[in-house]
Amino acid sequence: MKILVCISKAPDTTSKIAFTDGDTKFDENGVQYIVNPYDEWYALVRALELKEQNGGEVTTITVGEASDDSIIRKALAIGADNSVRVNMESTDAYSTAYQIADYAKANSFDIILTGKETINYNGSQLAGMISEIMDLPFISIASKLEMNGATATIHREIVGGDEIIEVNTPFVISAAKGMAEQRIPNMRGIMQARTKPLTVIEPVACENLTSFASYSLPDVKSECKYIDADNMDELVALLHNEAKVI
């Protein structure tokens, strides 16, 4: 079984969010990048578990510049067999999906896994776009993935519950909480990651469909108004008259 896992970088959750160049660029000053948690904890770890059960190979792919190599080595340390980096800055979901689809078409994978979203752009765009470009079935926001030969049994979230579905490979799937548990790389994994293949390929021509014209920060939240624990009538009055939410 050949599995492709799409890996993206994301700023550490505690990073200070600020912008530079007239609010057109994310300020990376002092920002520590991590593997996007949905890609790492759920997509990559589940891919590794499936490989351990069924044999096969887990490849990761990242669209990014050389500075992304450190997070790719982390994915290799956790257990991926090899990695590919498409050498371009990823600023648009479609052009990123196009690069991944182009590589995947030439290398026939059984499963293409992504996290359900990145924690910086929260778009949930990539997996759906890859599936459309490759004309493959897409299972979005899945919390369970079991393989039996070429048939997958998947739990995907629907309004008010879960749908349990079956689909045959190849398919594209985006992973959410529940699919696997986080794995901490051990020293052996970290040592091995240094010599595992990380292939850098050049991008194919593709236009960006969107761009971020600028960013802005929310208004500073006004001071919290404290209410005495014995005076809930006052809170109710404020919620009704001031906040107008009840």
Partner 1 sequence: MSVLVYIDTLNGSIAKSGFEAVYYGSKIGETTVLTNGSISDSELEKVGAYGASKVLIKRDLTENNPSQLSKLIQAAVASTNAETIVLSHDLIGKAVAPRVSAGLKAGFVAGAIALPEGDTVKVNVFSGKAFGHVKVNTSKKVIGLTVNSLSPEETEGTAAIEDFSADCGTSVITVKDVVKQDGDILLTEAEIVVSAGRGLKGPENWGMVEDLAKTLGAATACSRPVADIGWRPHHEHVGQTGYVVRPNLYIAAGISGAIQHLAGVNGSKTIVVINTDSEAPFFKAADYGIIGDAFEVLPKLNEAIKKFKANN
Instruction: Write out the binding residues for partner 1, residues 151-190 only, by CB under 8 A.
Output: 153, 155, 157-168, 177-178
End-to-end CA distance of the chain: 55
**Dihedral of the CA atoms 124, 127, 128, 131 (nearest 10)?**
180
CB of 242 to partner 1, least distance (A): 9
| Chosen residue from 29, 122, 148, 195 binding partner 1 by CB under 8 A | 122
Count of residues that interact with partner 1, criterion CB under 8 A:
78
What does the angle CA 93 – CA 97 – CA 98 come to, to the nearest 5 degrees? 120
Q: Per the omega criterion (within 30 degrees of 0), is the bond before 197 cis?
A: no
| Chosen residue from 44, 72, 76, 139 binding partner 1 by CB under 8 A | 139
Q: Per the omega criterion (within 30 degrees of 0), is the bond before 170 cis?
A: yes
Q: Which is nearer to partner 1, 195 or 216 (CB)?
A: 216
CB of 220 to partner 1, least distance (A): 11
Asked whether position 240 contacts partner 1 by CB under 8 A, the answer is yes
Asked whether position 88 contacts partner 1 by CB under 8 A, the answer is no
> Which residues in 47-76 contact partner 1 (CB under 8 A)?
none
Q: Tell me how far apart the alpha carbons of residues 157 and 163 are, in angstroms, rounded to a whole number.
A: 6
Q: Provide the mask over 193-232, with x wherever binding to partner 1 is found by CB under 8 A and - wherever it is not.
A: --------------xxxxxxxxxxxx--xx-xxxxxxx-x
> How many CA atoms are closer than 13 Å to the CA of 34, on its beta-carbon side?
14
| Chosen residue from 11, 45, 48, 49 binding partner 1 by CB under 8 A | 11
**C-alpha 86: how far from chain center:** 16
